[in-house]
């Protein structure tokens, strides 16, 4: 589990058919990192989850420079966002591991908000629910309503006190991220719920902070199909909790 490489920050980006959005996202991250040398050396790990467009070509064209290393990992078929996160986390080498969506719905500059609250025994999650005035482009009403209903179920079954588990911008201690990748099972969009529940079970604090956030059109989350999958996965997690099926904290963590 432990890595000896002197990487300060790993940024993991799951990507599925992102040729249109990925170039500007990677450029924004590069510019941000070059202005924040305390986060270097850094690696950007893009996990291509079976894309059918030019996503992989764009990633392979990135040149490592200025203390920023680009790595592309590919699934030959689409396995799901949770699978992509697990691949990225498992391959990471950073002292810190940030998960970010390919569309940067939470701007990369909001990493500073998470860093200011970080400690090795705590993971920091961005939230749309803590301060909704920070949302500068809200999502459609039906998506917001479904998200609130989903969160009520998550709080009731698994993670009370956390009001937005699904914002795709989270900062993990590196060793925790890699330990979670070793035991994670959820393949789809409810991976966050599993990782957050396990982190709390293992004694890590979860700090939820408001960040600037914007809904981006062409979301990869399909309201019908994926919402049903997420509800199903959360119910399965609830059953695992009821029957004591979650792994104990690793001894070397």
Q: What letter would DSSP give residue 253?
A: -
| Tens-digit pLDDT string for the chain (253 aa) | 444 458 999 999 999 999 999 999 999 999 999 999 999 999 999 999 999 999 988 888 887 777 899 999 999 999 999 999 999 999 999 999 999 999 999 999 999 999 999 999 999 999 999 999 999 888 888 888 989 999 999 999 999 999 999 999 999 999 999 999 999 999 999 999 999 999 999 999 999 999 999 998 766 666 667 889 999 999 999 999 999 999 999 999 9
Domain boundaries, the chain: 7-138+164-218
**87-122 per-residue burial string, b: 16 or more CB within 10 A, e: under 16:** bbbbbbbbbbbbbbbbbbbbbbebbebbbeeeeeeb
pTM of the predicted protein model: 0.94
Q: Which CATH number fits domain 7-138+164-218: 3.90.550.10, 3.40.50.2020, 2.30.30.60, 3.40.50.1400?
A: 3.90.550.10
CA distance linking residue 165 with residue 196, whole number of Å: 8
Q: Give the residues across from 98 on adjacent strands.
A: 11, 171
Which is nearest to 57 in space by CA: 17, 112, 108?
17
């Amino acid at each position: 589990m432990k890595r000896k490489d002197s990487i300060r920050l790993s940024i993991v980006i799951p990507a599925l058919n992102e040729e249109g959005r990925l170039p500007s996202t990677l450029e924004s991250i590069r510019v941000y990192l070059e202005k924040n040398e305390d986060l270097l050396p850094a690696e950007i790990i893009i996990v291509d989850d079976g894309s059918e467009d030019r996503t992989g070509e764009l990633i392979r064209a990135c040149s490592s420079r200025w203390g920023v290393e680009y790595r592309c990992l590919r699934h030959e078929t689409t396995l799901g966002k949770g699978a992509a996160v697990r691949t990225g986390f498992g391959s990471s080498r950073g002292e810190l591991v940030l998960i970010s969506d390919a569309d940067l719905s939470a701007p990369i500059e909001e990493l500073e908000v998470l860093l200011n609250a970080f400690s090795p025994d705590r993971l920091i999650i961005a939230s749309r629910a803590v301060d909704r005035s920070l949302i500068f482009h809200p999502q459609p009403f039906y998506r917001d309503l479904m998200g609130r209903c989903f969160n009520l179920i998550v709080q009731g079954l698994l993670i009370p006190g956390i009001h937005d588990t699904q914002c795709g911008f989270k900062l993990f201690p590196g060793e925790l991220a890699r330990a979670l990748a070793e035991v994670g099972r959820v393949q789809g969009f409810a991976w966050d719920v599993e990782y957050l529940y396990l982190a709390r079970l293992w004694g890590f604090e979860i700090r939820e902070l408001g960040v600037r956030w914007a809904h981006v059109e062409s979301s990869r989350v399909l309201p019908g199909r994926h919402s049903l999958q997420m509800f199903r996965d959360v119910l399965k997690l609830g059953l695992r909790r009821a029957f004591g099926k979650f792994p104990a904290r690793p001894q070397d963590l």
